[in-house]
Structure 1
Amino acid sequence: MTERPRLLIFSDLDGTLLDHQTYQWTAARDALGALKEAGAGLVLASSKTAAEIAPLRAAIGFQNWPAIVENGAGLLPAGAVCDALSERYDALRTALANVPTDLRALFTGFGDLDAAGVAAVTGLSPKAAGLAKQRAFSEPGTWTGTVQELDQFLNHLATQGITAQRGGRFVTLSFGGNKADRVADLTQRYSPRHTIALGDAPNDIKMLETADIGVVIANPHSAPLPPLKGEGAGKIIRTTEAGPSGWNAAILSLIKQLTD
């Protein structure tokens, strides 16, 4: 691994490097190969667990770089499969049990479901859903109430130090830390010449704005992100193609710009 890479890429997964419906990354194969040839680093940054990310990271050939897991609530070290302790997750579940019953009933977390239930709400295979349930730092879930009720729900949890991030499909609860925090930490550690972040959802915004260049990947399955800080100056760009196809085109273009 390069001591000081010219490029360090931070990438969301679902709807970004992975197709929104199939969870496949093969449309980005050319760009992934180009990153390796350029000696660039790739840090996956997702709401997924360490158990989910470790085999994916190995499959794309970037296991020698750390990964940001569970929306930035934790970090998977380079080369690790990671059997993280679950004390934080257990504390989250305890806090949820103390929320007023009427509000608690509106939130269905992964811990409330078996693997088949998680597969149903995510579209994952039963095996992959089992990996998604191996949580250590955070609790994603679906919300069926109103925005006002969600605010009440989160206010109750905030008194116990729990914060929420809202992604494309889920509300994710944790005791703090987000993708942008981890991007800042890893940028300081590796001191790359340039950083690029790619994402498609509201929980990616801070990460996109933290990197030198942010790439908003088109996602026809959700409302487009609002104009972001630095977008007018060209610091944030947007793809026309969705998912890994858009990721592929953006990375190939940026490699050419930044390494020529």
Structure 2
Amino acid sequence: MPRLLVFSDLDGTLLDHTTYSYAPARPALAALRARDALVILASSKTAAEMLPLHQELDLGAAPMIVENGAACLTPTEIDGRDTVYRKLRALLSTLDAPFKGFGDMSVDEVATLTGLPRPAAARAKARQFSEPGLWQGDADQKAQFIAELAQAGITAQEGGRFLTLSYGASKADQMQRICRQNAPCFTIALGDAPNDAEMIAAADRGVLVRNDHGPDLADFPIGARISRTDLPGPEGWCAAILRLLCDWDQYQKGAARHG
């Protein structure tokens, strides 16, 4: 029988955009735990940021997709090595571009931008693999900037708040790797921003979570496999998961009858 794997973005999806609370999603999280589902957090956040939440949710040895897919780590694999990040920052220093990354900001600036408490903002600045930041130029400059980055093997992905730069891998790439390691499996992916789109589209069931504070994704294709929530953030996350679990339970019953 396939195992249920749930891949979830954090800010604006499992976590409220403003308060960062996941409290409204507790019923769905409990329902997933009761079905032995593997919940994989997938975020632009650092491993240092995500580990406390991973532990609070009691996700065990489940991997985390960190820094927008730049790496995939289990809790025991987390360390502070930042060789990749320093390489990325060195390249950025050679480009004359109106991009202000977390490495250019103080802890207080990151706290103000994100609404995070100062200790959490410090963890957000502990980058290892990617650089989120604010684009402060026009669209033509941005296109040129992204083209120059691409020549160096760096991708730029739009999130709910920031433009995040990293070498190569995406959330969807890491999702596929985890699926291969856990085959056979059935996947659900939830997110709210353009950097989640590929992951949502690749899942067996994808959910676009409403976020009135993020980029407009009105053109995102909705169909038999992909749905959009009416409620925002963790409220929408909870409703979508509970609805999909009803389908999952029916599938499991049918498979048992014909197994």
Instruction: Give the TM-score category using the shorter length.
Output: over 0.9
- Report the Cα offset of residue 155 of structure 1: 2.2
Distance across 1 between alignment mates of 2:2 and 2:124 = 31
- Structure 2 partner of 1:178: 170
Q: 1:257 maps to what in 2?
A: 247
Please, which of 89, 92, 99 is the counterpart of residue 88 of structure 2? 92
CA distance, structure 1, for counterparts of residue 136 and residue 22 of structure 2 = 31
Percent sequence identity is 49
Moved more, 184-193 or 121-130: 184-193
1:239 to 212, 217, 229: 229
41, 44, 47: which one aligns with 1:47? 44
Residue 5 of structure 1, CA deviation: 5.5
Q: Shift in Å at residue 192 of structure 1?
A: 4.2
How much has 1:8 moved relative to structure 2?
Answer: 0.4
Unaligned stretches of 5+ residues in structure 2: 251-259
Counterpart residue number, 1:195: 187
Deviations 1:186-207 (A, max 9, x none): 0111114310000000110000
- 1:32-181 alignment, distance < 5 Å: 32-77=29-74, 79-80=75-76, 82-100=78-96, 103=97, 106-181=98-173
Counting matched residue pairs gives 250
Q: Tell me how far 1:70 sits from its aligned partner.
A: 0.2
CA shift at 1:147, angstroms? 1.0
Residues 1:13 and 2:13 are matched in the alignment: no
Query: How far has the Cα of 1:250 moved from its partner?
Result: 0.7
- CA shift, 1:35, in A, is 0.5
Q: Is the 8 A contact 2:154 2:168 kept in 1?
A: yes
Distance 2:118 2:13 in 1: 22
Inter-partner Cα distance in structure 1 for 2:56 and 2:2: 21
Amino acid at match of 1:235: R
Aligned-residue CA RMSD in angstroms? 1.4
- After TM superposition, the score normalised by the length of structure 2 is 0.93
Per-residue CA shift, 1:156-202, capped at 9, x if unaligned? 22232211111111111111100000011101111143100000001
Amino acid across the alignment from 1:97: S
Indicate conservation of the 8 Å contact 2:161/2:214, yes or no: no
Over 3 Å counting, the alpha-carbon distance change for 1:58 and 1:6 in structure 2 is: same
Provide the secondary structure at the position in 1 that maps to 2:237. helix
